[in-house]
Amino acid sequence: MRGSQVQKEGVRTSEILARLDENFPDAECALVHKDSYQLLVATILSAQCTDARVNMVTPDLFGKYPDAESLSKADPEELQELIRSTGFFRNKARNLLKASLKIVEDFDGDVPDSLENLIQLPGVARKTANVVLGTWYRVASGVVVDTHVGRISKRLGFTAHKDPVKIEKDLIELLPQERWISFAHQLILFGRSTCKAQRPRCSECFLADLCPYFGSQEQ
């Protein structure tokens, strides 16, 4: 890419970020939580499940298991029943039990505040770790790439990849680090309201004039 193209792309990216700020100034994680433990558990449950469904399940879950120590001692069948509606409940229950036990044994009952330690927990990969670090600890360790972020980043021309790890790498190189946290939250809201997977509302989109995907649809 030539210097003039790089500069033009930088201007386009800056304008996209400015419009996201204008339309979603207070974007935050949609998973209801009161502490890092609740956020970690909710994020693990959110795999292949909507945030809305997770938020319906967690009040009873946290009422019964308010911290990592109590969760580590949970009866597996009772735990499975509590989280059944989130899908893949057996695997999720197994990960929650192992992760909470490791938190108790290796981290004095506190959810780790570093990427290196978080990804040691069963059921926790980069996406989950980035959610916890960015949302609770306000540490910009990377960009959360869920289905919305991946889809919209590709439509906007920010990446050509489908693999979340490669998409995150592209976004980290493209975006200022101070935007890594807010960008993901904004794109998730944008994906739910406008840039949907099926039938995106391009004609109503505030980014249409900056979007390669919209241009391709016009042909």
CATH number for the domain including 190? Answer: 1.10.1670.10
Residue 121: Cβ within 10 Å count: 25
166 is catalytic: no
Same domain, 151 and 206: yes
Q: What pLDDT tens digit does each residue of the chain (219 aa) get?
A: 556 666 778 899 999 999 999 999 999 999 999 999 999 999 999 999 999 999 999 999 999 999 999 999 999 999 999 999 999 999 999 999 999 999 999 999 999 999 999 999 999 999 999 999 999 999 999 999 999 999 999 999 999 999 999 999 999 999 999 999 999 999 999 999 999 999 999 999 999 999 999 877 654
Catalytic residue among 21, 113, 146, 170: 146
Smallest Cα–Cα separation from 45: which of 34, 31, 28?
A: 31
Of 173, 175, 182, residue with least CA distance to 134? 182
Distant-in-sequence, close-in-space partners of 187: CB < 8 Å, separation ≥ 6: 20, 148, 149, 152, 153
Give the active site residue among 51, 92, 102, 127.
Answer: 127
pTM recorded for the entire structure: 0.90
Report the number of distinct structural domains present in the chain. 2
Query: Tell me, what CATH number does 79's domain have?
Result: 1.10.340.30
- Domain termination residue (choose one: 74, 102, 135): 135
Q: Are residues 54 and 16 in the same domain?
A: no
127 is catalytic: yes
The last residue of one of the domains, among 135, 158, 185, is 135
Q: Are residues 57 and 124 in the same domain?
A: yes
Q: Are residues 102 and 54 in the same domain?
A: yes
pLDDT at 219: 40
Phi-psi region of 108 (alpha: psi -120 to 50; beta: other; left: phi over 0): left
Q: Does 151 lie in the same domain as 61?
A: no
- Final residue of a structural domain among 106, 135, 164: 135
Same domain, 107 and 178: no
Question: Would you state the pLDDT for residue 1?
Answer: 57
- Domain hosting residue 13, numbered range: 3-28+143-218
How far is residue 181 from each of residues 130, 135, 140, 141, 162, measured CA to CA in Å?
A: 8, 7, 6, 9, 20
